[in-house]
Amino acid sequence: LAKTTQPISMDSYEGQEVNITCSHNNIATNDYITWYQQFPSQGPRFIIQGYKTKVTNEVASLFIPADRKSSTLSLPRVSLSDTAVYYCLVGDRATNAGKSTFGDGTTLTVKP
Amino acid sequence: GAVVSQHPSRVICKSGTSVKIECRSLDFQATTMFWYRQFPKQSLMLMATSNEGSKATYEQGVEKDKFLINHASLTLSTLTVTSAHPEDSSFYICSAREEGASSYNSPLHFGNGTRLTVT
């Protein structure tokens, strides 16, 4: 299972763009990169998933360089409600029974 | 979107008793579900992989006789914490993926967790 490394914490202010980078140096060819958001006492919630280049949805963008050894989650114009822990997971549903290992995550604190 | 329902959301039990937690995929089928445990201010730790119609696969260090997993249908997995002790108090979370070729590499969908407190 690919190991991931993220910054432990980040601070931001309302309205700013936040970029959280995740390192996954031993990512396998079939692995996808998925980001989740978790609020206290809740299960993680899916944000975005990608394999290469750039993916964008209504809440975030995901940038993946050509070597795929890292990825960056970009949250545009964050608000106080974006304060949460963000996890990047690397895995493939066809191998290892589709399980992925959670890293330590990044605690994002958005200030007014 | 795909929804995973977990019940109960919170349970308090006495030391020595057993507690059952249910995880249901509401609008999709899942032959595989995952159970995690999360202690305060820590990440999720995978406990076991629940397989429909067969035995669960446990991660190293997780006691299979203490954490009984049953996956009797394509939409329901249960985790029973047997003879619970205060050190079993934690936040338990389940997850599942949608099945089928069209959902290849679909992301994990998580339940909202169960807060277990053993007194």
Rounded Cα distance, B74 and B34, in Å: 13
pLDDT of residue A84: 98
CB contact at 8 A, B14 and B33: no
- pLDDT band for position A5 (cuts 50, 70, 90): very high
- pLDDT band for position B105 (cuts 50, 70, 90): low
Convert the pLDDT of each residue in B21-44 to its tens digit: 999 999 888 888 999 999 999 999
Kindly give, in sequence order, each residue whose CB lies less than 8 Å from that of residue B51, ignoring residues fewer than 6 positions away. Answer: A97, B31, B32, B57, B71
Residue in A44, A87, A98 nearest the CB of B97: A98
Rounded Cα distance, B101 and A15, in Å: 40
B32-to-A110, B69, B70, B114 alpha-carbon distances in Å: 36, 12, 11, 19
- pLDDT band for position A91 (cuts 50, 70, 90): confident
Per-residue exposure over A48-59, b if at least 16 CB sit within 10 Å of its own CB, e if not: bbbeeeebeeee
% of residues, chain A, pLDDT over 70: 91
Residue of A nearest to B39 (CA): A41
- Which tokens in the block code for residue A57? 């949805």
- pLDDT band for position A97 (cuts 50, 70, 90): low
DSSP state of B59: P
Asked if B105 lies within 8 A of A42 by C-beta distance, the reply is no
DSSP state of A15: T
Residue in A41, A44, A93 nearest the CB of B97: A93
Q: How far is A102 from chain B (nearest CA, A)?
A: 6
| Average pLDDT for A91-109 | 76
Convert the pLDDT of each residue in B46-90 to its tens digit: 999 998 888 999 999 999 999 999 998 999 999 999 999 999 999
What is the number of H-type helices and E-type strands within chain A?
A: 0, 9
pLDDT of residue B72: 84
